[in-house]
Amino acid sequence: MMMNGGEATEAELFLNCDDMSVLERQRVQLNYHQYHHPGFEPTLPCFFPNSSKMNVGEVDSFLPSAGLDLPEIYGELHGDARISVSPGNITTEFGNSKKRKFGCVDTETKVCNEKKKMMMMMDREVAVEEEEEEKSKVTEQCTRSIMKMKNKAKKEQNSCSNDSSKVTKDSQRTDYIHVRARRGQATDSHSIAERARREKISGRMKFLQDLVPGCEKITGKAGMLDEIINYVQSLQRQVEFLSMKLATVSPRLDFNIDDIFSKEVVSAPMMNLPNTVMPPHMMVNSGYPHDMVNSGYVHFNPMQQVVTSSDPLSCFNNGQSATMWDSEVQNLYTV
Amino acid sequence: MQPTSTMNEEFLKKWQMGLQMFRPSIDNASVSERKRAIKLSADVAMASLRKGTTCWSRALIQKTATEDNFLVRQMLSGIKEETLINKKLPKVMCHRKIVRRSKKILMRRKSRSAMEEVAAKAKKLVKRKTQGLRNVVPGGEFMSNNVLLIQETLDYIVSLQTQVNVMRSIVDAAEAGIER
- List of chain A residues whose C-beta atoms are within 8 Å of the C-beta of residue B130: 225
Say yes or no to pLDDT of A230 above 90: yes
DSSP codes, A311-330? -TT----HHHHHHHHHHHHH
pLDDT at A181: 74
Q: How far is A130 from chain B (nearest CA, A)?
A: 13
Please list the pLDDT of chain B residue by residue as tens digits (180 residues).
777 888 888 888 888 887 877 777 766 678 888 888 888 888 888 888 887 788 888 888 878 777 666 666 666 665 556 556 666 666 777 888 898 898 888 878 776 777 888 888 888 999 999 999 999 898 888 888 888 888 889 999 999 999 999 999 888 888 888 777
- List of chain B residues whose C-beta atoms are within 8 Å of the C-beta of residue A325: 20
Contact B167/A at CB under 8 A: yes
Judged by CB atoms closer than 8 Å, whether chains meet at A253 and B156 is answered as no
Q: Are A254 and A311 in contact (CB under 8 A)?
A: no
pLDDT at A287: 39
How does pLDDT run across A297-327, given as a tens digit for each residue? 333 333 333 333 334 334 333 434 444 444 4
Q: How far is B147 from chain A (nearest CA, A)?
A: 5
- Within 44-103 of B, beta carbons closer than 8 Å to A belong to 77-78
Say yes or no to pLDDT of A135 above 60: no
Q: Which residue of A has its CA nearest to B23?
A: A253
More confident site: A142 or B163 = B163
Q: How far is CA A58 from the centre of its chain?
A: 25
Contact B112/A at CB under 8 A: no
How does pLDDT run across A43-100, given as a tens digit for each residue? 444 444 444 444 444 434 443 443 344 343 343 334 344 444 444 444 444 444 444 4
DSSP secondary structure letter of residue A243: H
Angle between helices B114-136 and A221-249 (to 10 degrees): 20
Contact A173/B at CB under 8 A: no
Say yes or no to pLDDT of A227 above 50: yes
Q: Read off the pTM.
A: 0.53
- Other residues' Cβ atoms within 10 Å of the Cβ of residue B119: 14
Which helix (H) or strand (E) segment is B73 a member of? helix B69-75
Q: Are A89 and B128 in contact (CB under 8 A)?
A: no
pLDDT band at A175 (very low <50, low <70, confident <90, very high): confident
Quote the radius of gyration of chain A (alpha carbons, Å).
Answer: 30
ipTM over 0.90: no
- Other residues' Cβ atoms within 10 Å of the Cβ of residue A81: 15
Q: Are A258 and A296 in contact (CB under 8 A)?
A: yes
Say yes or no to pLDDT of A184 above 70: yes
pLDDT at A262: 55
- Within 225-264 of A, beta carbons closer than 8 Å to B belong to 225-226, 228-229, 231-233, 235-236, 238-240, 242-257, 259-260, 263-264
**A15: exposed, middle or buried (Cβ count in 10 Å: 0-12, 13-18, 19+):** middle
Contact B107/A at CB under 8 A: no
Q: Please give the Cα distance from A290 to A58 (Å, whole number).
A: 48
- Within 210-229 of A, beta carbons closer than 8 Å to B belong to 211-212, 221-222, 225-226, 228-229
pLDDT band at A291 (very low <50, low <70, confident <90, very high): very low
How does pLDDT run across A12-36, given as a tens digit for each residue? 444 444 445 555 555 666 666 656 5
DSSP secondary structure letter of residue A265: I
Q: Please give the Cα distance from A241 to A226 (Å, whole number).
A: 22
Q: Please give the Cα distance from A27 to A134 (Å, whole number).
A: 12
Residues with Cβ within 8 Å of A273's Cβ and at least 6 positions away in sequence, in order, are: A279
